Chains A and B, each alone.
Chain A
Amino acid sequence: MTHPENAAEFLKDSQKAKWHDETLWFVRDKRDKVSKGIPEWEQLRELASGIKDNVLANLADYLEEFERNATKNGIIVHWAADSEEHNRLVLEILQQQNCTAVVKSKSILTEECHLNPYLEKHGVEVVDTDLGERIVQFLNQPPSHIVLPAIHLKKGEISELFHEKLNTEKGNEDPAYLTQAARVHLREKFFAAKVAITGVNFGIAETGEFIVCTNEGNADMGVHLAQVHIACMGIEKILPRRKDLGVFLRLLARSATGQPITNYNSHFRSPSPGKEIHIILVDNGRTAQLAREKFRNSLKCIRCGACMNTCPIYRRSGGFSYNSTVPGPIGSILSPGLDLKKHSSLPFASTLCGSCTDVCPVKINIHEQLYEWRQEVTKTQGEFAKGLAMKLASGIFKSPLAYKISGSLMRNALKSLPNSLIYHPLNSWGKNRNLPDAPKESFQQWYRKNRS
C-alpha cells in the first residue's frame, strides 16, 4: 500500500487522528521551550553536524580505532554486512549460552533487521522491555514512532490489552496502574534472562566504549543482571572523542522529548568480571548510502524523532502509514535507499515545508533530500498523467488567448460544477482538500476596471 492509502486508513478515526496530531505537536513544543533555554543551541547543532561530517569522511579509520580499543577493553567485536548476518551472529551467541529467552531494550536497528521474528523462528523468546515496545509487541505490531513506540494507541486499548495479557483489572485505564503491572511483569523477565540485547546510541572511537540512553532504565536492568550483553550498532553511530558526547547528550533528549537529558546514560567500556559484552557493527545498506553523495548526510541521524513530531504529514498520517522501520521525514530519506520500489511514495509524503530540517539536531537537510528522492523516483517510474497535465498547461501558458479563455472557463466551471465531479474519487487532489472560492473576475479584468 502507498503512503496516501495508508494515511486515508489512519484518518478514518478522525478523533484519534486529531489526538495524535495534537500530542506530537505538544512534544515538539516542549522541544522548542527547552532548546530556547540554551543560548548556544544553534552552535551545538552546528558542532554536532560538523563532528558527524568528520565521522563520515573518516568512517573506516574510526571503525578500526573503535574495534582496536573495544577489543583491548575485553569487548568482543563482530561485523555484519547485512541483516541476515546480524541475526545469525545474535543467534549463534544465544546458542553458545544455551539461551532460549532474551530481554531486549529499544533498538531501531534490530527492528530494521527483523531480529525478533528470526529469533522466534529459531525457538528463542524475545521480550521487548521498553514499556511502549512491550505494548506493541503484545499486539504484534512494529513501533509507530522511534522514540514513542505506542503513540498511536489510546489508554483504553492498552488497558484492554493488559487485561488480556497481564490480567489487570478490566476497565482500569490509569496509566500508573498499568505501568506498575508492566513493571512487575518485566522485572520477572529481567531477573530470569541470561542474555540481554541493547541498541547503541553512540560508540566512541577514542575509548572503545559505547553509550546507551533510556528513561526507564530497562537497558541497564537487562544487561547488568544477564551474563552476556549483546549490543547492536549501526556503523554510522561512531563519534571520535569522548568529549563529543558533551555536544550530543545536550542535544539528544532535548530534541526528542524536551527533557534536558535522559535519566540513564550508560557508558559500557568493559564487561564485569566473569561476564561478556559483544558488539555487532552492522552495515545493512549504510555504506551504499554513504556512496550516494546527495543522501550521505542522512547517516548523521541520531534517532531523536524530532522531525516526526514536527512533521504536518507524520502527525496526520501516523507512523504505520510509512510502512518503513523508521517512519516520518528521516525514514522517507533513509528507506528509499534500501528499497526504492517499495518506498517510492515516501518522498512525496511531505509538504517540503522544511520544518524537519529546522529542528534536526545534526542539521540534516531532510526536506532537500526528500525533493532529491522525488527526482530519483520520477526518473525510474515516470508520472504519465502529471506529465500530460504539464504539457497541456505549457500550451495554455504559451498562448495569451488560450490563457484568457481557459481562465474564464475555469472560474465559471468552479462555480457551477457539481461537487461530485470536483471531488470525484479519481481526483486524488480533491481528497481532504477544499478548492478556494473562484474570484468573479480575473486580475486583468479587475485592473482594467480600477486602475486603467
Chain B
Amino acid sequence: MSSREKILSAIRSLTLESKALPDIPNFSNSGDLVERFTQSISGNKGEVLSKGELEEWFSSSGFSKVISRSSQFSELATLSLPEDPHALETLEVAILDGQFGVAENGAIWLEDRQLGLRALPFATEHLVIVLDRNLLEDTMHQGYEKIAAAHSGFGLFLAGPSKTADIEQSLVIGAQGAKSLRVVLI
C-alpha cells in the first residue's frame, strides 16, 4: 500500500462525528478607511505618502537602479524587468501597482500580473507600492471576498518591509528582504 493510501485509509477507518463548516459573517469596523490603512502601514514600519513626497524622496536620493511597473511612475525607471531574478541582486528600488489594500492591517494584495517577477518585492532594497485610495477594504474578510475566485499562480498580502526581532526582541527593519516600504496613495 502506498503512503497515500495508508494515510487516507487510516483516517477513513475512524468514526468521526460530522461537524458542519461554519459560515463566516461579514464583520466590519467603523472609521475612515484611509486613516486606518495609513495607521496600519506605519504600525508595520512602512510609510504612506503622496505622489509629490515620493518624487521629492527620489530626487534627493539619486538612485541609479530602478524598476517601475507602475504607469504612475514609469519615468523614474532606469532598468527594465530582467528575465532572470538573480539580476535583481543590486536593485535599489522597485515600484509596483497594488490591487487593493486592507485597512485593519495594511496588507496590500499583489499577483503575478503586478509583480512580473515573483522575487521583485523581496529582492529589491526599497519597495514602493502605488495604490488607489478608493480601493481600500475594511478587513481581511472583504479582502478575500474581493479576490474570490481570481486565479494567479502566486498571490501576496504584503503589509510592510522585511523585519525581525530575533535578537533580544529588538525590532530591526531590513532583515533579508526590502529595507523599506513606501505606499503612495493616489
Contacts and interface: CB of A to CB of B under 8 A. Distances in A.
A265 B86 contact: no
Contacts of A50: 19-22
Given A129-B176, A235-B7, A217 B162 contact: yes
B123 A261 contact: no
A226 to B, nearest CB: 10
Given A183-B174, A245-B140, A246-B24, 19 more contacts: A44-B27, A57-B17, A60-B11, A131-B164, A131-B166, A148-B169, A158-B168, A190-B176, A216-B163, A218-B176, A224-B123, A246-B139, A246-B143, A263-B163, A265-B157, A269-B152, A270-B154, A283-B3, A287-B10
Contact of A216 (B12, B145, B177): B177
Name A's interface SS: helix
Interface stretch (A1-9, A172-180, A337-345, A434-442): A172-180
A217 B44 CA distance: 14
A287 B7 contact: yes
Interface stretch (B54-62, B70-78, B100-108, B128-136): B100-108
A21 to B, nearest CB: 13
Given A191-B86, A191-B89, A225-B119, A260 B172 contact: no
Nearest to A217: B177
A81 interface: yes
A179 B152 contact: no
Interface string A222-264: 0011000000000100001111111101100000010111111
A26 B169 contact: yes
A240 B29 CA distance: 26
Interface residues of B, number: 70
Given A221-B122, A242-B147, A260-B43, A216 B24 contact: no
Interface string A188-214: 001100000000000000000100000
Of the candidates B147, B148, B156, B157, the one having the most CB atoms from chain A within 10 angstroms of its own CB is B157
Nearest to A265: B157
B82 interface: no
A290 B86 contact: no
Contacts of B79: none
B186 interface: no
Interface stretch (A117-125, A149-157, A368-376): A149-157
A271 interface: yes
A224 B152 CA distance: 15
User: What class of interface size applies to chain A in its complex with B?
Assistant: 35 or more
Contacts of A85: 3
Contact of A224 (B6, B25, B85, B105): B85
Interface of A: 23, 26-27, 39-40, 43-44, 47, 50-51, 53-54, 56-60, 63-64, 73, 79-81, 85, 129-132, 135, 148-151, 153-155, 158, 175-176, 178-180, 182-183, 186-187, 190-191, 209, 215-218, 220-221, 224-225, 235, 240-247, 249-250, 257, 259-272, 281, 283, 287, 290-291
Given A217-B177, A243-B24, A176 B172 contact: yes
B141 interface: yes
A177 to B, nearest CB: 9
A261 B157 contact: yes
B119 A51 contact: no
Contact of B168 (A51, A59, A155): A155
Contacts of B98: none
A296 to B, nearest CB: 8
B24 A249 contact: no
Of the candidates B3, B106, B143, B167, the one having the most CB atoms from chain A within 10 angstroms of its own CB is B167
